[in-house]
A and B are shown apart, each in its own frame.
Chain A
Amino acid sequence: MEFHALGVHEIAAGVRAKKFTALDVFNECLDRTIACESKLSALITVTADSGRAQAREVDAGIARGEEMGLLAGVPVILKDNMCTHGIRTTAGSRILGYWSPPYDATVWRLLSSEGAVLLGKANMDEFAMGNTTGTSAFGPTANPWDLSRVPGGSSGGSAASVAAAYTPLALGSDTGGSIRQPASYCGIYGLKPTYGLVSRYGLIAYGSSLDQIGPFTRDLEDMALAMQILAHHDLKDSTSVAKGNIDFSLPMGDKNGNVNLKGKRIALVKDFQDFTLDPPIADAMRRVLRVMEEGGAEISEVSLPTVARYAVACYYAIAASEAHTNLARYDGVRYGLMVNTATSLKDMFEQVRSQGFGSEVKSRIIAGTCLTEPVRSEEYYVAATRVRTLIAAEFGKAFEKVDAILQPVTPSLPEKIGESDEDAMKGYESDLYTLPVNMAGLPGLSFCTGYARDSGPVPGFPSEPTSGLPVGLQLVGPRWSDKNLLDIAFELQKVLGAPQIARGGI
């Protein structure tokens, strides 16, 4: 049986009903993973032994007649910046090469307590800095739809894993688009939840006030299920918010019915209209807008001038400022890369950090160091935090009139591996559609609209056949509207169809 093609809810239901065992599921998913890995390099660590042990435990629990959780026997993959007790956690960096945390991230504690089984730790841009998964100290990950292209980043490994069906669920983290952009490049769903909805405890920090953990799935029902478990108030994370129990369950069983978006107020951003989009993405925008209109949604425009003009600069100022303090702890004193050749304390710090960090990380540390220097701090870091307040207010005002914004995730389809290595600014500019969402702590959902070739699942779409790559768009809503974004996407899925499994090079 091809377990890897099943969704989260299907596997959990099957295991609980004893239709198949967690171990069978795990082994089959592991086989597929191993078959694809030589082409994709989506994982840094494959946890075959501990995963099998966890699967056996689930099976034993079921055999004993115990009540098993919502994720009984579901194989999952975690981005390698989420701490797993006793399992190497590297954040894609040489400086943490063989570090095994003595504790679990809250998200993994939540998933595993529901019976999830860990299959591996996903490749990522070093310390989540990058948008290609090319800055990883463990080498780049390939896009499972086109091995010559990037899967996006920084959660590229997690996105590629789900697209190629290693597992039906993986977690990523999104500081400026690091879930939504790879989800879009790999043709799956990726949700960056509202800041504070999912605990960050145990997430190796990049920009703490921007970071947010979220799920990748090929199915919206799976995503709703994952959020049901992950949206949890955590006393170990002071920025985690108690929102009570949000009911994420979707109106299932109506997948082929008529699109119903009556009463949903959807907006386009006026200030983004001038930016150039790749034709397949522009087509997707037009197509989805038509589906929405036909489904009864009210379409309008909102204006976000401050966002359009200042978000990118302010984002990088804040992210780098926070990053350089978050990365100051890697000094070779307590864990991670250490050196024995140092002649002084300063020499030791310098050697460890010179050898341990890659160039993208170094450049952001240096940027953060400069931006927060006492003489410049007011002009850069402090100014950026003030603009951030304006950005949040601008979004707040826009969302008084609309329920969600429809916009691209990126202006272009995935680039070739290595293409932008020499041009860091290209990557930065392409983040305009994603990072303001983090600045304001909003939820953003990336969804697949189809494929850039005429054999795509949507008849007549797209009008200009290109490479066959998936084309994603995103929905952005006000804080705590995560469930509403899933509802809207669920209606769109009735016409657009569900994401397909990528061949992953096999």
Chain B
Amino acid sequence: MSDKTSGDALTFTPVIGIEIHIQLKTKSKIFCSCSADYTHDAPNSHICPVCMGLPGSMPVLNETVVQQGMLAGMALNCGIQPTTYFFRKSYYYPDLPKGHQITQSDLPIAEKGYLMIKDDAGNPKRIRITRLHLEEDVGKLHHSAADGRLEGAATSYVDYNRSGLPLAEIVSEPDISSAREAVEYATALRRRVRYCGASDADLEKGMMRFDANVSVKCSDGRWGRRVEVKNMNSFRALERAIEYEVKRQSKILTEGGEVLQETRHWNDAKETTMASRVKEFYRKFIVEPDLPPLVVSPEWVENTRAALPEMPDEKLRRYVEEWGLSEVDAAILADSRDVAQYFEACVTAGANPARASNWVRTEILRTLNERQNQRQNERQNDKQMGAEELAVKPEALAELLIRVDGGKISTTLAKSVFENMLEGLSLDEALTKSGASEGGVKADVLSDLARATLAANPDVIEEIKAGKDVKGKKLKFLQGLVMRETKGQARPEEVAAVIEAAIKVLLK
């Protein structure tokens, strides 16, 4: 979609701000010691008086949440506030156990950051980040209707396993001008929070959710009012919802109508937004009296900053500038931190960056993908498989690639060796299992093989003798046969030399 939607003579510029909730990566919830990992467990199996908001219960802040919030804030180029507070935000909903949510409101732990993206013309664009604040998640409603929706449901059930999960809400300035930019911003944000280890940001598990504030500016000077679209939980939904909303608002303005300020919900199935029932409640705030002010010491901030890894954009730039990779290849490698780390360790251990890039982008990513699918099918563990879990350590892969570059091992053999190493064998063991012996194939063995091959293919020899192998294809064919016999462990140039020598003998 373009950022200008034309209607007769009028053009419209979308003005979009995004609020993103990410679940911070911690073992326990934000205000109690209940486990934050409940994915496969029964409803209401991870609850206690605190996350249920029972009378008399009191919140105690989990320090890891603060640490992760600071990390995420730093990864998004935000400044950290030394003293902040928690507030109670009051409203009624059955999945909100206390009738108020504890949140940082307008005194967030991190603020005034930015993210760089490419605009629709491909130019660098800075999206400003207003703030990142910490808060608790609420429970989840399950309705008894067949489609799981509230309409037509006789009963609703509440699962409080989510209640009290630590969230960071990240609010952007209205700097985004298209659905595509919105997705790029969200993707870049996810990459960064994953990189610094603050969040797994797994969309399917609801660890990342989007709300978008969309309005359009008309070329005749009219502005549509701001509409908040809620309930998007995939990049596709984010993109489609914004596209839909921009179109809807542009149409209203084209027809001379007025865009109402309202909250709309994205319906993923119907791919439309719908005005949600107007929530008349005020969002009231009082200081949370059960929690003291949150004070982060300069030392804590400093230590957290020291723990912040190099971010993907910087890595990408380094791969291109220092190691001469293409921007496309570098982007693939830098996309996730574990893969980037694997790649870098491989290069550090002596592998040629171009070859290491090639192998990591193909073999390593393919393997990770396969293993991941296998895991999901077997339902053993739905955690994303990390490159660090592979049996082949980057140093071992580097050793293998060095041998390939040194001409000691062919690429074909190297792949076989790699497969064996994936099963847990050392480089040497894998070489042996793949039929390779140290130092390649001895010259006399190779000569014997060449002679045997020639003897087995008299028709080919005849054609060569007859001078029909003008382009050298027959020679290559024979060469290939020998290579296969050696299981690829011979050096191609040596094989070529042996065959040429043998044919010369035959020609005499």
Q: Chain A interface secondary structure, helix, strand, loop or mixed?
A: loop
Interface residue from A83, A381, A385 paired with B55 (Cβ < 8 Å): A83
Could you tell me if B53 and A329 are in contact, using CB atoms closer than 8 angstroms?
yes
**Chain A residues within 8 Å of B97, by CB:** 329, 333-334
Q: How many angstroms from the CA of A73 to the CA of B64 in the assembled complex?
A: 43
Mark B272-298 against chain A: 1 for CB-CB distance below 8 A, else 0: 000000000011111101111000000
Q: B282–A204 contact, CB under 8 A?
A: no
**A99, A202, A238, A349 pick with most chain B CB within 10 angstroms:** A238
Rounded to whole Å, the gap between the CB of B121 and the closest CB of chain A is 41
Q: For residue A209, which residues in chain B have a CB less than 8 angstroms away from its CB?
A: 289
Select which of A81, A83, A105, A208 is within 8 A of B289 by beta carbon.
A208
Chain B residues touching A, majority SS = loop
Q: Evaluate contact between A200 and B88: CB separation under 8 angstroms.
A: no
A203 engages B100 (CB within 8 Å): no
**Residues of B close to A385: CB separation below 8 A:** 287
B55-A322 in contact (CB<8A)? no
Residue numbers in B under 8 Å from A345 (CB-CB): 94
Q: How far is the CB of B32 from chain A (nearest CB, A)?
A: 9
A101 B54 Cβ-Cβ under 8 A: yes
Specify which of A329, A333, A374 is in contact with B283 (CB 8 Å cutoff). A374
Q: Are A238 and B49 in contact (CB under 8 A)?
A: no
The answer to whether B284 and A373 touch across the interface, beta carbons within 8 angstroms, is yes
Does B130 lie at the interface of the complex (its beta carbon under 8 Å from any beta carbon of A)? Answer: no
A-B contact pairs, 15 of them (CB 8 A): A82-B56, A89-B56, A101-B49, A102-B49, A201-B56, A238-B58, A238-B292, A239-B292, A322-B286, A328-B100, A331-B92, A331-B94, A372-B286, A374-B283, A385-B287
Known contacts A329-B98, A381-B286; is-contact A101 B292 (Cβ 8 Å): no
- Distance, CA A82 to CA B98, complexed state (A): 18
Measured CB to CB, the closest approach of chain B to A175, in angstroms, equals 12
A325 touches B56 (CB 8 A): no
Bitwise interface map of A from 71 to 88 toward B, beta carbon under 8 Å scored 1, else 0: 000000000011100000
B424 within 8 A of A: no
Contacts of A480 in B (CB 8 A): none
Residues A333 and B58 in contact, CB atoms below 8 Å apart: no
CB neighbours (8 Å) of B452 from chain A are none
Contact A99–B55 (Cβ < 8 Å): yes
- The answer, yes or no, to whether A98 is at the interface (CB within 8 Å) is no
Q: In the complex, A203 Cα to B49 Cα: how many Å?
A: 12
Say if the beta carbon of A335 comes within 8 Å of chain B.
Answer: yes
Asked if residues A333 and B158 are in contact (CB atoms below 8 Å), the reply is yes
Residue in B closest to A336 when the chains form the complex, CB atoms: B55
Let me know if A390 is at the binding interface, CB within 8 A. Answer: no
Determine the residue in chain B with the shortest Cβ distance to A346. B92
Q: How distant is B124 from chain A, measured CB to nearest CB, in Å?
A: 39
Asked whether A458 is an interface residue with its Cβ less than 8 Å from the other chain, the reply is no
Q: Nearest chain A CB to B354's CB is how many angstroms away?
A: 55
- Docked CA distance A201–B32 (Å): 13
**What is the CA–CA distance of A209 and B57 in the complex, to the nearest angstrom?**
14
User: Bound state CA distance, A327 and B59, in angstroms?
Assistant: 16
Q: Is the CB of A205 closer than 8 A to any CB of chain B? A: yes
Interface of A toward B, CB cutoff 8 Å = 81-83, 89, 91, 96, 99, 101-103, 105, 200-205, 207-209, 235-239, 321-322, 324-325, 327-331, 333-335, 345, 349, 369, 372-374, 377, 381, 385
Q: Report Cα–Cα, A372/B285, bound state, in Å.
A: 7
The number of A-B residue pairs with CB atoms under 8 Å apart is 102
The reply to whether the CB of B61 lies closer than 8 angstroms to some CB of chain A is yes
Instruction: Give A127's nearest chain B residue, CB to CB.
Output: B55
Chain A residues with Cβ under 8 A from B61's Cβ? 238
A318 to chain B, nearest CB (A): 9
Q: Which of B58, B88, B283, B292 contacts A201 (CB 8 A)?
A: B58
Q: Which of B52, B55, B59, B97 has the most CB of A within 10 A?
A: B55
Identity of the chain B residue whose Cβ is nearest the Cβ of A202 in the assembled complex = B56
A238 in contact with B60 given A83-B55, A328-B99, A334-B97 (CB within 8 Å): yes
Contact of B99 with A96 in the complex, beta carbons under 8 Å: no
Shortest distance between the CB of A37 and any CB in chain B (Å): 25
User: Whole-angstrom distance from the CB of A108 to the nearest CB of chain B?
Assistant: 11
Closest CB in chain B relative to A365 CB, distance in Å: 11
Of the candidates B49, B58, B59, B284, the one whose C-beta lies within 8 Å of that of A374 is: B284
With a cutoff of 8 Å between Cβ atoms, the chain A residues found around residue B411 in the complex are none
- Within the complex, the shortest CB–CB distance from A304 to chain B, in Å, comes to 24
Closest to B53 in A: A329
Which A residues lie within 8 Å of B49 (CB)? 101-103
Query: Which residues of chain B have C-beta atoms less than 8 A from A96's C-beta?
Result: 55
Shortest A44–chain B CB gap in Å is: 15
Residues A329 and B285 in contact, CB atoms below 8 Å apart:
no
Are A102 and B56 neighbours in the complex by a CB distance under 8 Å? no
Give CA–CA (A39, B158) in the complex, Å.
Answer: 45
Residues of the A chain whose Cβ atoms lie less than 8 Å from the Cβ of B290: 205, 208, 237-239
Contact of A200 among B52, B58, B94, B291 (CB under 8 A): B58
Chain A residue at minimum C-beta to C-beta distance from B60: A238
Whether A328 touches B90, Cβ cut-off 8 Å, given contacts A96-B55, A333-B158, is yes
B55 touches A204 (CB 8 A): yes
Of the residues A82, A99, A331, A372, contact of B284 by C-beta under 8 Å: A372
**When the two chains form their complex, are residues A322 and B56 in contact, meaning their CB atoms are under 8 A apart?**
no
Instruction: Assess A373 versus B58: contact at CB under 8 Å? Given A238-B291, A325-B88, A333-B94.
Output: no
How far, in angstroms, from A235 to B158 measured CA to CA in the complex? 29
CA of A369 to CA of B88, assembled, Å: 13
Q: Which of chain A's residues have a CB closer than 8 A to the CB of B100?
A: 325, 328
Neighbouring A residues of B285 by C-beta, 8 Å:
372, 377
**A236 to B31 CA separation, bound complex (whole angstroms):** 10
Please judge, given known A-B contacts A200-B58, A202-B56, whether A328 and B92 are in contact too, CB under 8 Å: yes
Does B56 lie within 8 Å of A204, measured CB to CB?
A: yes
CA distance A366 to B315 in the complex (A): 57
Contact across chains for B60 and A236 when beta carbons are under 8 A apart: yes
Question: Chain A nearest CB: distance from B170 CB in Å?
Answer: 24
* A20–B56 alpha-carbon span in the complex (Å): 36
Given the known A-B contacts A329-B97, A329-B98, are A236 and B58 also in contact in the complex, defined by CB atoms under 8 Å? yes
Contact with A along B429-459 (1 / 0, CB 8 A): 0000000000000000000000000000000
CB within 8 Å for A102 and B54 given contacts A325-B88, A374-B282:
yes
Nearest residue, chain A, Cβ from B290: A208
Q: Which of B56, B94, B282, B291 has the most CB of A within 10 A?
A: B56
Shortest CB distance B136–A (Å):
14
A327: chain B residues within 8 A (beta carbon): 99
With A103-B49, A329-B99, A349-B92 as contacts: A238 and B59 at CB distance below 8 Å = yes
Q: How far is the CA of A105 from the CA of B54 in the complex (A)?
A: 12
CB of A328 within 8 A of CB of B283, answer: no
CB neighbours (8 Å) of B282 from chain A are: 373-374
Cβ of A99: which chain B residues have Cβ within 8 Å of it? 55
**A263 CA / B98 CA spacing, docked (Å):** 49
A375 to B425, CA, bound (A): 70
Nearest neighbor of A207 in chain B, beta-carbon distance: B289
